[in-house]
Amino acid sequence: MKGSDKIKVLVVDDSVLVRKYVCLILKELENIDVVGIAHNGKIGLEKIILYKPDVVILDVEMPEMTGLELLKYLKTCSDRIPLPFIIMFSSLLEEGSATAIEALNYGAADIIKKPDGKISENFDYLKKEFELKINGLYQSKTETRKSYLPYSEDLTEEIVPCAYPAVVRGIENLMELMTKKPIKPELIAIASSTGGPPAIRKILENLSELKIPVVIAQHMPQGFTREFAKNLSSGFNREVLELTPERELKNGVIYICPGGVHSKIAKEGNSLFYQADYGNYEGFFFKPSIDIFFRSIINSVGKNTIGIVLSGMGKDGSVESVNLRKEGAVMIAQDEESSAIWGMPGSSVRNGGIDIILNIYDIGKAINILLSGIKQ
């Protein structure tokens, strides 16, 4: 790959050792060019303007200007300078994890957790994670978006499409969908990755009182999901909890699947329970995997599910969303316009795993309508 075709990356961290090892990791990836380093947000801002990087690896706590302060500033000048994708490189120490979650609300694309041990001892794992996330973000930026409207013939990239009727767009088509596909919801299952946290917040802004449980499977490192739950709970005055093994799901409560493990929903009698799966499966890098999560819901709740696929890179969930839709679940995808990255929802649409595509501002309203027939 020519230098001009490479992904330009800027590393901003106040630790000399962290900058050294991150640069060593990135320099082993042939399609990435480290264009600069900075030891705080102020110098990082100057180098963003100077080098116009595609991606910035950003520390949370730094002198003079923190990572969060840099993000806030970038948001104010988005009309003047091209904004890179920001990946927070954060530890769980002190307030780092809480600030990293707040950074996602201010536009950071993703989080990579700093290892508890030495970076040198986690070199290969970090190399794979940086490669996946940087390439995924850059690909989403450079790809030309295609149309996946019902009349699109571009259905050849993934598995064979589902035999159900073509996907529709817009909340104005929801009532017709409900007539064709009546549902008695027992669970709302939300899948999200890059760009998911701010999308989830927009759903909660429009969500009325809940009558059934909500379970959110968000691609996020281990430990950060607890902070994510706290952030949502305090921000929306709702009961939002990180799931723990064998926890029974209660109506009206929003649950976050923990990072670092696969998540399954099981049913015993009339009760739903969370099960943690600590297995490592080939082809499932992100934990929790959306496909594993959806597969368990097919077996436990099936047709009585409202399934939602939000912004995220890649195609996790695009296999089992088809099977969940076939079971009779109502499947919703966030639209291209409001998604940071239309990888996950787009893949589910292409495969035939989605009934309706909605703007993020309409998804909370759609949930309210779908739940309106449930008795208290």
Say which of 140, 192, 219, 296 is annotated catalytic: 219
135-158: b (≥16 Cβ within 10 Å) or e: bbbbebeeeeeeebeeeeeeeeeb
135 occurs within a structural domain:
yes
81 pLDDT above the threshold of 90: no
Both 130 and 218 in one domain: the answer is: no
Both 17 and 74 in one domain: the answer is: yes
Res 282: pLDDT:
84
Which CATH number does the domain housing residue 332 bear? 3.40.50.180
Spatial distance between the Cα atoms of 316 and 338, rounded to a whole number of angstroms: 19
Both 222 and 269 in one domain: the answer is: yes
Res 374: pLDDT:
66
153 occurs within a structural domain:
no
% of the chain with per-residue pLDDT over 70: 90
Say which of 13, 110, 316, 355 is annotated catalytic: 316
Both 131 and 177 in one domain: the answer is: no
For 158-162, 186-190, 219-223, which range has the lowest pLDDT when averaged over its residues? Answer: 158-162
Spatial distance between the Cα atoms of 13 and 309, rounded to a whole number of angstroms: 33
* Domain enclosing residue 254, as ranges: 168-371
The label of the residue with tokens 């309106």 reads 372
The label of the residue with tokens 């295609």 reads 146
Tell me whether residue 75 is exposed, middle or buried, using C-beta atoms within 10 angstroms of its C-beta: 0 to 12, 13 to 18, 19 or more: exposed
pLDDT in tens, 225-251: 999 999 999 999 999 999 998 899 999
32 pLDDT above the threshold of 80: yes
Overall residue count recorded for the chain in this entry: 376
Res 241: pLDDT:
98
The DSSP bridge partners found for residue 217 are 191
Question: CB neighbours (10 Å) of residue 55?
Answer: 25
Both 274 and 344 in one domain: the answer is: yes
Total H helices, total E strands in the chain: 12, 15
157 occurs within a structural domain:
no
Question: CB neighbours (10 Å) of residue 124?
Answer: 10
- The whole-model pTM stands at 0.89
155 occurs within a structural domain:
no
Spatial distance between the Cα atoms of 166 and 189, rounded to a whole number of angstroms: 22
pLDDT in tens, 267-302: 999 999 999 999 988 888 889 999 999 999 999 999
The DSSP bridge partners found for residue 7 are 32
The label of the residue with tokens 């909660």 reads 204
Of the candidates 149, 131, 86, the one whose C-alpha atom is nearest the C-alpha of residue 340 is 86
105 pLDDT above the threshold of 80: yes
| Mean predicted confidence (pLDDT) in 74-92 | 87
Segments in 184-246 forming alpha helices (H): 196-205, 224-236
Tell me whether residue 88 is exposed, middle or buried, using C-beta atoms within 10 angstroms of its C-beta: 0 to 12, 13 to 18, 19 or more: buried
DSSP 155-177: --SSSPPPSSPPPEESGGGHHHH
CA 128 to chain CA centroid, Å, is: 18
Both 138 and 205 in one domain: the answer is: no
How sure is the predictor about 96, in pLDDT bands with cuts at 50, 70 and 90? low
pLDDT in tens, 116-173: 878 888 889 899 999 999 998 888 766 533 333 333 333 334 444 555 568 999 999 9
Res 2: pLDDT:
53
Tell me whether residue 228 is exposed, middle or buried, using C-beta atoms within 10 angstroms of its C-beta: 0 to 12, 13 to 18, 19 or more: buried
Indicate the average pLDDT of the chain: 89
Which CATH number does the domain housing residue 108 bear? 3.40.50.2300
Query: For the chain, what is the domain count?
Result: 2
| Mean predicted confidence (pLDDT) in 315-330 | 96
Question: CB neighbours (10 Å) of residue 180?
Answer: 10
152 occurs within a structural domain:
no
261 pLDDT above the threshold of 90: yes
11 occurs within a structural domain:
yes
Active site residue 316: yes
For 46-55, 84-93, 310-319, which range has the lowest pLDDT when averaged over its residues? Answer: 84-93
Active site residue 347: no
Both 196 and 331 in one domain: the answer is: yes
Of the candidates 215, 298, 302, the one whose C-alpha atom is nearest the C-alpha of residue 263 is 215
- Which structure tokens are listed for 21? 């090892």
Both 339 and 224 in one domain: the answer is: yes
Spatial distance between the Cα atoms of 334 and 283, rounded to a whole number of angstroms: 24
The DSSP bridge partners found for residue 34 are 9
pLDDT in tens, 66-78: 999 999 999 888 7
16 occurs within a structural domain:
yes
Spatial distance between the Cα atoms of 149 and 87, rounded to a whole number of angstroms: 31
